[in-house]
Chain A
Amino acid sequence: MASVGVLVCVKRVPDITEEVALTEDGQSVDGRRAGFTMSAHEECAVELAVQVAGGSDGEATVLTIGDADAVEQLRNALAVGCTAATHVVGEPFAFGPADVAREIAAVVRDHESAGRSHDLVLLGNDAADSGDFQVGIRLAYELGRPVVNGASTVAVEDTPEGPVVVAVGEGPEGQETYRMPLPAVVTIREGGVEPRYPSVPGRLKAKKIPIEERQPTAEPAGASRVRMTLPPPTPSAVQILGEGPEAAPAVVDVLEKLGVLTPGKVAP
C-alpha cells in the first residue's frame, strides 16, 4: 500500500475528570488544579493516526493551535508514535471554530505544496472544554474533502480504485460503516481504540523531534462566546450495597454490570 500521511489535530484542554471550575471571566475552564491534557476523543485520534500511518509507512503529524504550554500535548503525541509536529502559536481562546478550521486548512495546503501530503485528517469529535462540534465539518468544507463525524475507528484499505478510508462508528440505528476515497477528514469519538501510554524510549525520542512553529494566517475572529456558567451541582447518589462479607454478591453484580467481571468465572 502507498504510504498514507495522517494529520491529527489536538487541543490542550483542562482535565475535567473531576469537579469543573471556570476562569473568572467565564471564557474557559480553569485547569490549574486538575492539570491539562488532550481530550479522550483526541487521544483515540492520535492512537488511530499512529496506527494508520505506521501501517503504511506514512507520516503521522500532530498539530495544535495554542500557547507555549500546548507544546506539552504535542510532545505527548510524539511520545506515543507521531513523527512530526506543527504548532500554530496563538492564544487558544481567541480562536473560534471557523478560525481553527482555516488555520488547519492553511497548514494542510502549505505542507502539501512542500511535498508532505496529509491524506487523512483526524480530529476529536468535539473539544472537552468548549464543545463546539464544528471544526471537522468546517475543515472539510475549506479543503473540499468528504467528512465523517463521530467515528470510533478508522482504517485505510487498498482498492483497485485507490486507497479508501473505512470509518466505523455508532449511529442511532446501530453500527455505521462509511467508506470514502482519500483525501478525507474524520472526527473521532472515544471508545473504539485503546490509546497507548508512552514508553520510556518513546518519551525520550519525542523530546528530540523538532516542532514546526508557525503564526496564524489571519487575525482570529473568535467564538463570540459571552460566557460559560456551571450547571447546578448534581446531588451525589450513594447507594449502600451492604456491609461486611454479606455485601459481596451485590458488589459482584455491580462489577458484572460494569463489564469488569465476567459472569461465572471464579478466581482460583
Chain B
Amino acid sequence: MADVPGTARCVVIGAGIVGNSLVHHLARLGWRDIVQLDQGPLPNPGGSTGHASNFIFLTDHSREITDLTLDSVAQYKELGVFTESGGFEVARTEERMEELRRRMSSAKAWGIEAEMVSPEFVQEKVPFLDKDQIVGAFWQPGVGVVDSLRAGTIMREGAVAAGALTTVPNVEVVGLDVEDGRIRRVRTDKGDIEAEYVVIACGVWSPKIGDMAGVSIPLTPAVHQMISVGPCPQLAGQQGEISFPIVRDMDTYCYERQHGADMEVGSYAHRAILMAPEDIPTIEQSKLSPTELPFTEEDFDPQLEQAYELMPELLGADGAEIRYAINGLLSLTCDGAPILGESHVKGLWTASAVWVKEGPGVGRAVAEWMTQGWSEIDVAHSDIARFHEHQKRREHTRLRTTESFIKTYGIIHPNEQYESDRNQRKAPMYDSQEKLGAFFFETAGWERPHWYESNADLVEQYGEAVMPREHEWDSRWWSPIINAEHLRMREAAGVIDLTAFQVFDIEGEGALESVQQTCVAQCDVAVGKVIYTPVLDANGGFRSDLTVMRLGDTHYRVVTGGAHGPADRQWFGDHLVGEATLTERTDDVATIGLWGPKARDILASLTDADVSNEGFPMLSCREIQVATAGGAVTVLASRISYVGELGWELYVAFEDAAALWDALLATGDTHGTRPMGIGVYGTTGRIEKGYRAYGFELDAERSIVEAGMQRPKVKAADFVGRDAYLAQREASPKTVLCTLTVEDHTSASGVKRYMLGGEPILTRDGGTLTDGHGHHPYVTTAGSAPSLGKHVLLAYLPPEQAEIGTELAVSYMEELYPVVVRSVDATALFDPSNERMR
C-alpha cells in the first residue's frame, strides 16, 4: 500500500466531489506538489458523494448558491457527465403556488430558463403522476442529473496526469500540527506530511478534522432518507439512466427521481436526525458505507403515503418493490451556507458542507481564492470567517439545523427569524427594550429591536402615511410601526440601539499603515476624524464598507456591521503591518444612535460639551460627559448618520449603556422622541438616502464605480485593490446602481403589493434586461420611503437604462408593476443636498 509523501505544498483531505474538484482546479491554476488523502478507497471512499441522488435543480433564492450551481452544471457538462432531464417543483396548495412564483422571480433574476405550468403540462411529461393532486408547477428544462463519482474521477486523474497530484486512499488523518498560528503538518496513520497549505474537504467528517487544529467547522451530519422502488413496468425499457423529469413534491418535502427502471423517493419531511461526526461508523463497521446508515422506516412512512398519492400506478405497480432504502448522511450548517475559506490558522483552509450541485463550482472558487485572494463568484456568505463565537458551539448547529431541516423545501420568508437558540447576546438595555414591546430580530446572535409595539400609537397618528400593507406575505415580519417610527424621527428624533456593531481597535506604531493599506479612504487624518470607507479585495471588489475613527496618533477604532463583523476582523487582522495589534471591543462597547432634528437639543441638555455644528462638526468624534440618573458617563460621540439626519453614534461602556439609554429616552420624551428599531436604521432611513449596504448592494462582484461611490481623487498611499480600482475608474461601468420608485402597486386582484427584495427588473412590457457582465437586474433592497410616500427599490441596471426617468417594470409574484429610475448615482431621493444632517 502506498505510503504518504513526507512533504507537500498542499494537502487536500477528502476525495469526494469537493476534494476532487479542488485538486483539479488547483492543478489548472498551476499548483504542483499536491497530495490528496482519503480514509476510504477510490473512486467511492464512502462519503456523501457516493450515495448522492445526483440531481441538480438550478434556482435558489440565494444568488451565491445559484451561481455556484450554474458553474457546477457548466463544469459537469464539460466533463460529459450531465444528463438533462428537466425538473418540476409541483404545488399542492395555493400558498405553494405563490412560493413558486417567487422562484420564478429568482429564476428571472439569475437568468435561468423557467416557467409556471399547468398540471396537464406536468402529466404530459410525467404520465405516471396524478395531476389531480397538484394545482400547478414550476418547470425548469435545464434540470438534470450528474455522475458525481465519474466527474470526481476525471478531475482527480487529470490532476495526476498533469504531474500536479499524488492521491493516497485508505489513509487516516490522525492529527494536524499548528505552529505559530500556521499549519505545519498533517499526521496520518501512514506517516506525517509537512505542508504549507491544508484543505479540509471531507464533508461530514470535517468538524472532527478541524478540531485537530482547534478550528471550528460548524456543520452537522444529518440524515436524508431515500428509497428506491422498482422495477416499475412503466419505466422498463427506457434508454439510459433518466428519461423523465424529476419531480419535487414541494408540499410534502419529497422528491421522485427516476433512475433506470426504479423510482427514487427522497424525503426532507422527517424529523431532523442529526449525528455527531465522531459517531459516524468506520468503513469496517458499515454495512453499505459510513454515510449510508440503516433506514428507519417509521420516519419515512408518512412520506411514502404522500408519494404513493402522487404516483399510485407507478409506485404500486406489480413487481415494484422497495429494493434499497437508506438513511444517507449529508452536511447541514446553522445558516444553510457552505463553509469555505481560510481559517484563523494560516494555511488551513476548508471546503465543507457542500452538496453535489455546488461541488465543482466550490472547487473552482476555493482554488481561485487560494491562488489570487479572490474568486470570480463571490462566496462571502460561505466564508468560514463569518461565524461568531456562539455559532461555533455544536449545540447551536444542532438546534438551528433541527429547526431548518424541515424547511429544506419549506416556504421561507426573506425576513424569517429563527426561533431556536435565541437570546445569545443582549444589549445592556435589553430589559428596557422588552418593556417597550420590542419585536426582536436576531443579528449576529444579538437580540435587536426591529420596532417597538409601544410606538403603535404613532401608526394611528400618521394614518395612511405609514404605507400600510394589506397582503399578509408583504407584511409578514414587518410592521407599519417601522414607518411610523421613521416619520417621527424625521419630525423629532429617534434613539436606536446599535450594540450589535462589531468594534475593534487597531493600535501601535503600525496602526496608520495597517488601516491605510486596508481602506480605500484616506486614513492619515487628524485625530478625532471619522472616516467612512469601502474595503476592497485585490480585484477591486467589495470586502466591506465600514467606518474608522482615529482616536489617537497610533490608535484607530473600526466599526462595522455585526453580521459581517468577524470576517472584517479577520481581514484587518490579516493585513496588520509593523507593530500593530487588533483588540476586539464588541463586548465592551455598546452603541446608541441619536438622530433627528431634535438630536442636538437632546444631547445638549445632557452635556456641557459643545455640540454645535462648529464645535462638533460632521465626521468628527470625541469623548464627552453625558449626564444620566446615576451620574455622568463617558461617551465617545461620533457625528455621522446612516439615516440622513443630524445626530450621533454614541459609544459607551457596557456598564453605562443602560443609564445612557434611559437618559436619552427620558430627555427625548419631552421632544417627542421615541426609541426606534432597526427597521428604520437598516431600511427606511437608509433607502431614502440611497445608502448602500454590504451584502445587498455591495459585494465582491461589484465595484466602487458601479456602486456610484467613487470620489474625485484616489489617495496616493497604497491599499488593497488600488490598481484594480484605478482601472475601474478609467473604464465605463458595465452596470450602474440606481434608485427606482414603484409607480403603481395595484395587482390584478386589486390588492396592493409591496416588493421585498430579490425581484427582477424588466422592461415595461416584461422584456429581459442584461448588463455588461451578462447579469440581469434585480432588486438589491426594497423598502418603504415614508417621507417620500413611495416604495423604493435599489437595483443595478445596464448603463443604457441608467437614466433618470427611464420607465421599467418590477416583476412580483409573476405580475408586472411600473417603476421609474429616480437616481443613477448615490444622490439621495430625500434631502439630496444633506441639509438636514448639518
Is there a chain B Cβ closer than 8 Å to A90's Cβ?
no
- Cβ–Cβ contact B287 & A34, under 8 A: yes
Q: Write out the residue numbers on chain B whose beta carbons fall within 8 Å of the beta carbon of A72.
A: 297-298
Name A17's closest neighbour in chain B (CB-CB): B287
Determine how close the nearest CB of chain A comes to the CB of B285; give it in whole angstroms.
Answer: 5
Number of interface residues of B (CB under 8 A): 23
Cβ-neighbour of B294 out of A35, A76, A197, A200 (below 8 A): A35
Q: Which of B163-202 contact A (CB under 8 A)?
A: none
- Cβ–Cβ contact A15 & B315, under 8 A: no
- The total of Cβ contacts below 8 Å across the A-B interface reads 60
- Cβ–Cβ contact A201 & B285, under 8 A: no
- Cβ–Cβ contact B229 & A200, under 8 A: yes
Name A197's closest neighbour in chain B (CB-CB): B321
Number of interface residues of A (CB under 8 A): 21
Is there a chain A Cβ closer than 8 Å to B81's Cβ?
no
- Cβ–Cβ contact A76 & B322, under 8 A: no
- Cβ–Cβ contact A204 & B294, under 8 A: no
Is there a chain B Cβ closer than 8 Å to A36's Cβ?
yes
Cβ-neighbour of A204 out of B282, B298, B308, B320 (below 8 A): B308
Is there a chain A Cβ closer than 8 Å to B305's Cβ?
yes
Determine how close the nearest CB of chain A comes to the CB of B208; give it in whole angstroms.
Answer: 16
- What are the interface flags for A169-202 relative to B under an 8 Å C-beta threshold, 1 for contact and 0 otherwise? 0000000000000000000000000001111110
Name B307's closest neighbour in chain A (CB-CB): A200
Is there a chain B Cβ closer than 8 Å to A207's Cβ?
yes
Q: Write out the residue numbers on chain B whose beta carbons fall within 8 Å of the beta carbon of A207.
A: 301
Name A80's closest neighbour in chain B (CB-CB): B321
Is there a chain B Cβ closer than 8 Å to A18's Cβ?
yes
Is there a chain A Cβ closer than 8 Å to B435's Cβ?
no
- Cβ–Cβ contact B320 & A199, under 8 A: yes
A200-B315, A201-B308 as given contacts; A18 in contact with B284, CB under 8 Å: yes
Name B295's closest neighbour in chain A (CB-CB): A35
Is there a chain B Cβ closer than 8 Å to A143's Cβ?
no
A18-B287, A198-B322 as given contacts; A203 in contact with B301, CB under 8 Å: yes
Name B263's closest neighbour in chain A (CB-CB): A200
Is there a chain B Cβ closer than 8 Å to A21's Cβ?
yes
Name B317's closest neighbour in chain A (CB-CB): A199
Instruction: Tell me, in angstroms, the Cα distance from A15 to B321 when the chains sit together.
Output: 21
Is there a chain A Cβ closer than 8 Å to B293's Cβ?
yes
Q: Write out the residue numbers on chain A whose beta carbons fall within 8 Å of the beta carbon of B805.
A: none
Cβ-neighbour of B304 out of A15, A17, A75, A203 (below 8 A): A203
Q: Which of B290-314 contact A (CB under 8 A)?
A: 293-295, 297-298, 301, 304-305, 307-308
Is there a chain B Cβ closer than 8 Å to A265's Cβ?
no
- Cβ–Cβ contact B304 & A199, under 8 A: no
**Interface residues in chain A, defined as those with a beta carbon under 8 Å from any beta carbon in chain B:** 15, 17-19, 21, 33-36, 72, 75-76, 196-201, 203-204, 207
Subset of 29 A-B contacts with CB under 8 Å = A15-B287, A17-B287, A18-B285, A19-B284, A21-B285, A33-B293, A34-B281, A34-B285, A34-B286, A34-B294, A35-B287, A35-B295, A36-B294, A72-B297, A75-B297, A76-B297, A196-B321, A197-B322, A198-B322, A199-B316, A199-B321, A200-B304, A200-B308, A200-B315, A200-B320, A201-B308, A201-B316, A203-B301, A203-B322
**Interface residues in chain B, defined as those with a beta carbon under 8 Å from any beta carbon in chain A:** 229, 281-282, 284-287, 293-295, 297-298, 301, 304-305, 307-308, 315-316, 320-323
Q: Which 8 A-B pairs have the closest CB atoms?
A: A35-B294, A197-B321, A33-B281, A200-B315, A19-B284, A17-B287, A201-B316, A19-B285
